[in-house]
Amino acid sequence: MTKAKRSKFYYRQALKLMPAGVNSPVRAFYAVGGKPVFIKKGKGSRIYDVDGRSYIDYVLSWGPLILGHAHKEVIKATVQALKCGTSFGAPIKDEIELAKIITRAVPSMEMLRLVTSGTEAVMSAVRLARAFTKKNKIVKFEGCYHGHSDSLLVASGSGAATFGVPNSLGVPKDFAKNTFVLPYNDIDKVDALLKANSRNIAAVILEPVCGNMGVVLPRNNFLSELRAITKKHNVLLIFDEVITGFRFLFGGAQNLFKVIPDITCLGKIIGGGLALGAYGASREIMSLVSPLGGMYQAGTLSGNPVAVACGLRTLQILKKIDYNKIEGLTVRLCKNLEETAKREGFKIRINHIGSMFTVFFTKEEVDSYQKAKRSDTKKYAAFFNAALNAGIYIAPSQFEANFLSFAHSLSDVKFTETVFNQALRGEYV
Ligand SMILES: *Cc1c(COP(=O)(O)O)cnc(C)c1O
């Protein structure tokens, strides 16, 4: 076990200044029983902590860094924009470029608005759905996380799942009451709810591939059936593609599954590591957004020139990249661990798609939040800490996705396989 002297020193100071010493809950490592590592810099697939240790990073800032840390061209474009000023609160040319590249790639987005986070994108999308349908209620799924706005912080995944706080304090019952929560992948329950209540329901929102209860895939036809049912009942379908946007291919999960929602939310990758989100829909729906229409939404830093430059260059690079490379490495990594587990009798389930994966410490298939929650989080914590001590940084919670970037090499993956195998056997702990 290494000493992590400086990390501990900073952590003690941070604890006095920020709740649990962090600015976002899962970073505190509560779920894995350790102390957070303070990061100094990142390059490619690696991050370096303040004590001089390096890690192969599978968190990648929770998804945005699909090109890896400090990508040369992305940094260059960002610095160039930075030198011209940090913010104008007025239109800039690159907003058009970014809007073009996104709307051409994501079929449901004829028009969009840029915002500063995924939370803001989803919050605005829900308001838009309510404005368009003139109805109030929304349907979400257990374990899906859609940011921390009031109506969506009900039975949430991510940090809320990690800490078993399905309903946050401070969310008025009057808000939560407008949110129906159903189990992911259960189309019959959606059908029944919409049959009984569609008069009051504005939208059904989900992660088309779930990342925030760990990776959970939509069952066969779940998405297409949702599309058919929502259409039939005049309820809008919102895909929260904050994680999945540009993660599997140059577009969203909607391109991959060929199911087109009414409204789409983006974040993470489209900002390339800076603060940027977007929501978009058909011209008809987007015409409701102020000042064209009566749905208000605004932002001092919306379409920020530095974030736009960073996101734009990231997408321009991604457009020319073959996604098979990271998918191949991910499949290899997951298969290797699965085979070891099988051979040696460890009970794990690995869910993966594209370059996302989660190792669940459970023996049954995980296709819902209920099943994800049956995982042995103590075993996950041991696996996490063993991997961390050996130089592999994975998500500090069972209920999160891990990611590969285009900076991850075959030798990174081979080293990770060795570490994962040993971590599974309880070495390094
Ligand atoms: C991360 C995430 C959000 C929230 O985005 P922030 O930028 O953290 O506000 C919303 N939805 C999904 C699916 C996410 O993964």
Q: By alpha-carbon position, which residue is closest to atom 15 of ligand 1?
A: 243
Q: Is the CB of 241 under 6 A from ligand 1?
A: no
State the pTM of this model. Answer: 0.96
pLDDT one-digit tens code per residue, 178-203: 999 999 999 999 999 999 999 999 99
The Å distance, Cα 92 to ligand 1 centre, comes to 25
The Å distance, Cα 145 to ligand 1 centre, comes to 7
pLDDT one-digit tens code per residue, 18-28: 999 999 999 99
- Identify whether 240 is a catalytic site residue: yes
Percent above pLDDT 70 for the chain: 97
Spatial contact of 61 and 273, defined as CB atoms under 8 Å apart: yes
pLDDT one-digit tens code per residue, 349-367: 999 999 999 999 999 999 9
Q: Is the CB of 375 under 6 A from ligand 1?
A: no
Give the pLDDT mean for 335-346: 95
Q: What pLDDT is stored for residue 175 in this prediction?
A: 81
Rounded Cα gap, residues 358 and 346, in angstroms: 15
Close Cβ partners of 331 (under 8 Å, ≥ 6 residues apart)? 352
- Identify whether 268 is a catalytic site residue: yes
Strands 392-393 and 402-403: unpaired
Coil, helix or strand at residue 243: coil
pLDDT one-digit tens code per residue, 279-310: 999 999 999 999 999 999 999 999 999 999 99
Conformational region of residue 389, where left means phi above 0, alpha means psi within -120 to 50, and beta covers everything else: alpha
In CATH, what class is 72-318?
alpha beta
Q: Which among 135, 140, 268, 373 is annotated as catalytic? A: 268
Give the pLDDT mean for 326-335: 98
The Å distance, Cα 159 to ligand 1 centre, comes to 11
Q: What pLDDT is stored for residue 161 in this prediction?
A: 61
- For the purposes of burial, counting CB atoms within 10 Å of the CB of 191, is it exposed (0-12), middle (13-18) or buried (19 or more)? middle
Q: What pLDDT is stored for residue 177 in this prediction?
A: 85
Percent above pLDDT 90 for the chain: 91
The Å distance, Cα 277 to ligand 1 centre, comes to 9
Q: Is the CB of 273 under 6 A from ligand 1?
A: no
Question: Looking at the predicted structure, is the pLDDT value of residue 167 above 90?
Answer: no
Backbone angles phi, psi at 97, to 5 degrees: -60, -45
Q: What pLDDT is stored for residue 34 in this prediction?
A: 84
Give the pLDDT mean for 13-21: 97
Instruction: Delimit the CATH 3.40.640.10 region(s) of the chain.
Output: 72-318
Question: Looking at the predicted structure, is the pLDDT value of residue 1 above 60?
Answer: no
Q: What pLDDT is stored for residue 150 in this prediction?
A: 87
Rounded Cα gap, residues 122 and 130, in angstroms: 12
C-alpha count within 13 angstroms, C-beta hemisphere, residue 397: 26
Instruction: Delimit the CATH 3.90.1150.10 region(s) of the chain.
Output: 5-70+322-424
The Å distance, Cα 166 to ligand 1 centre, comes to 16
Q: Which among 145, 184, 369, 380 is annotated as catalytic? A: 145
Q: By alpha-carbon position, which residue is closest to atom 8 of ligand 1?
A: 118
Residue closest to 184 by CA, chosen among 215, 228, 230, 162: 215
Q: What pLDDT is stored for residue 155 in this prediction?
A: 73
Residue of 65, 116, 124, 212 to test ligand 1 pocket, by largest number of atoms within 8 Å of CB:
212
Rounded Cα gap, residues 12 and 42, in angstroms: 23
- Identify whether 150 is a catalytic site residue: no
Given the CA of residue 267, which atom of ligand 1 is nearest to it?
Answer: 7
pLDDT one-digit tens code per residue, 391-424: 999 999 999 999 999 999 999 999 999 999 999 9
Question: Looking at the predicted structure, is the pLDDT value of residue 165 above 60?
Answer: no
Q: Is the CB of 279 under 6 A from ligand 1?
A: no
Of the candidate CATH numbers 3.90.1150.10, 3.30.70.1560, 3.90.550.10, 3.90.580.10, the domain formed by 5-70+322-424 belongs to 3.90.1150.10
Q: 281: how many CB neighbours lie within 10 A of its CB?
A: 26
Q: Is the CB of 64 under 6 A from ligand 1?
A: no
Q: What pLDDT is stored for residue 146 in this prediction?
A: 96
Give the pLDDT mean for 251-263: 98
Q: What pLDDT is stored for residue 2 in this prediction?
A: 54
- Name the token pair of 362: 């459970």
Question: Looking at the predicted structure, is the pLDDT value of residue 159 above 70?
Answer: no
pLDDT one-digit tens code per residue, 92-102: 999 999 999 99
Given the CA of residue 244, which atom of ligand 1 is nearest to it?
Answer: 13
Question: Looking at the predicted structure, is the pLDDT value of residue 217 above 50?
Answer: yes
Q: Is the CB of 118 under 6 A from ligand 1?
A: yes
Question: Looking at the predicted structure, is the pLDDT value of residue 166 above 60?
Answer: no
> In degrees, to the nearest 5, what angle opens at C-alpha 327 toward C-alphas 326 and 328?
90
Residue closest to 242 by CA, chosen among 218, 275, 219: 275
Residue 151 pLDDT level (bands cut at 50, 70, 90): confident
The Å distance, Cα 117 to ligand 1 centre, comes to 7
Mean pLDDT of the chain: 95
Tokens 């008809």 belong to: 284
Task: Output the CA torsion 282→211→172→263 (10° steps).
Answer: 0
